[in-house]
Structure 1
Amino acid sequence: MEDVLVGRLMSTTLQTVTPETLVEEAAQKMLSNDVGSVIVIDDENHLEGILTTTDFVKIVAERQPKDETPVSAYMTADVSTASIQDSIREVSDRMVEGGFHHMPVVDETEGVIGMISTTDLTGYLSHVQTPSPSQTDSAQ
């Protein structure tokens, strides 16, 4: 399989919030846009964290008042990121090892520029054309 780079598969339509955004607003943004995470950024588009559907399980379990709780209380601040030049194999390995489904794609000067998810990787793999063993055997 060819070495495919993250820049080819990442989503560039991003749902972002600030650390001060209330979790209720973040949840509404995720539901309205049918996404599993929002990227938490500062005023200069630099990554502050990520808030995922998994984090909302914790929010509900702890019964915090959702209308008064900022995203910063639940977001993951130590976020593993990718660049557009990373190979999807490397990124996939890091996602599996870390047990997460979303990885923000960042650029040193532009900040957050995309998101690569397990859905993006699965979509790519479902379209890769590889011969089945029976096709390989009959070609010999």
Structure 2
Amino acid sequence: MDVDNTPVEKLMSTTLVTTTPGTDIAEAANTLLDDGIGSLIVLDGEGQLTGVLTSTDLVTVVSTDQPLHTGTVADYMTEEILTISSTATLHDAAVKMIREDVQHLPVSEDDNGIVGMLSATDLTAQLMYMGSSGTD
């Protein structure tokens, strides 16, 4: 798999775990732990992307003066969402993640909305595989 020419859709995760802005933050944290994932896609009542909640966002929950386990996803989610097209290359995704200092990129398709998630972990694992085996 060539990073310069391989589309994001070849590496992205297509099993999307979603939540809503009104979900209790403790419930969202449990979902991340139970599913072994680093981010949740936040959808509004019409199924539109409104944010992303990452494990990094949950650090804010612990580091604030608020009592633990209070608030909703909307209180802590990232609202300025960066996405990437499913047809963009893995190289483009890596550059975007580095420039914008993000670890997760929701993957979009024009007609279908959000169709996947690409994480820095996905990219790192692929690059390590390519470097260790000498194959795609």
Q: Which residue of 1 aligns with 2:108?
A: 106
Q: CA deviation at 1:37?
A: 1.1
Q: TM-score, normalised by structure 2?
A: 0.87
Query: Given that residues 22 and 66 in structure 1 are in contact (C-alpha distance below 8 angstroms), is that contact kept between their aligned partners in structure 2?
Result: no
The list of structure 1 runs, each at least 4 consecutive aligned residues, that deviate by more than 4 angstroms after superposition, is none
The C-alpha deviation readout for 1:105-128, integer Å capped at 9, x for no partner, is: 122332221100011111221232
Let me know the Cα RMSD of the aligned residues. 1.7
Aligned residues: 131
Q: Which residue of 2 aligns with 1:45?
A: 47
CA distance in 1: counterparts of 2:93 and 2:125, whole angstroms: 15
Structure 1: segments with no counterpart, 5+ residues: 132-140
- Quote the sequence identity (%): 38
Q: CA deviation at 1:98?
A: 1.2
Q: How does 1:68-83 map to 2 (within 5 A)?
A: 68-83=70-85
Structure 2: segments with no counterpart, 5+ residues: none
Q: Which has the larger radius of gyration?
A: 1
Q: Which residue of 2 aligns with 1:134?
A: none
CA distance in 2: counterparts of 1:46 and 1:112, whole angstroms: 9
Which of the residues 6, 28, 39 maps onto 2:8? Answer: 6
| 1:35 lines up with 2:37 in the alignment | yes
